Amino acid sequence: MAKAELRLTGSGGQGVILATVILAEAAFLDHRHVAQSQSYGPEARGGMCKAEVIIDNTPITYTKVQEPTFLLALTQPSLEKYGANLPGEAVIMADSSLEVPEQLKKQHQVYQVPILDTAINKVGRAMTANIVAVGAINAVLHLASRESLRKGVAMHIPKGTEEMNMKALDEGLRLVAQN
């Protein structure tokens, strides 16, 4: 697989930083090279949040995403801000509650998936949206093996939430096949 430069966006508190950490961990477990970074506004919860991860089969010499090959947007403001000026080959995954501009649909492969709805209505906890997203992202990009993905999730979630988070991961993996 070629180099993947992922940018995950949403609002503070949605867990996009943790999602990139899990994706990086899973890819690392599969012996790939990774670099992860994040930034967010002064408001930790509710402010715009961006986290990035680079995954490659060769050593990474520059650790910041320069030309994203993938964008996840969980909020409308993050889609509007980070959807602009994406390279033409970039893939976009937006929560199905968002309005994706026609221009983006014309220029990019776009997946609209019910990440937030799945977390609330199928898993039972909104806070699992990031894990649902991890599953959906991996279903599209095949960044890590299922086994490494499960290990990555297990390494970074609170004790006692394993069953719920594995359900969220499995639901996310199924989302792309359904859309």
Rounded to the nearest integer, the mean pLDDT of the chain is 92
Each residue's pLDDT tens digit, 72-84: 999 999 999 999 8
Q: Over 60: is that where the pLDDT of 88 sits?
A: yes
Tell me how far CA of residue 16 lies from CA of 1, 27, 39, 169, in angstroms: 23, 17, 10, 14
110-134, pLDDT tens digit by residue?
999 999 999 999 999 999 999 999 9
- With vertex at residue 105, the alpha carbon angle to CA 5 and CA 139, rounded to the nearest 5 degrees, is 45
43, pLDDT greater than 60: no
What's the confidence (pLDDT) of residue 120?
A: 97
- If you compute the radius of gyration of the chain from its CA atoms, what whole number of angstroms results? 15
Q: Where along the chain do its domains lie?
A: 4-178
On whether the CB atoms of residues 149 and 129 are closer than 8 A, the answer is no
Domain 4-178, CATH homologous superfamily name and number:
Pyruvate-ferredoxin oxidoreductase, PFOR, domain III (3.40.920.10)
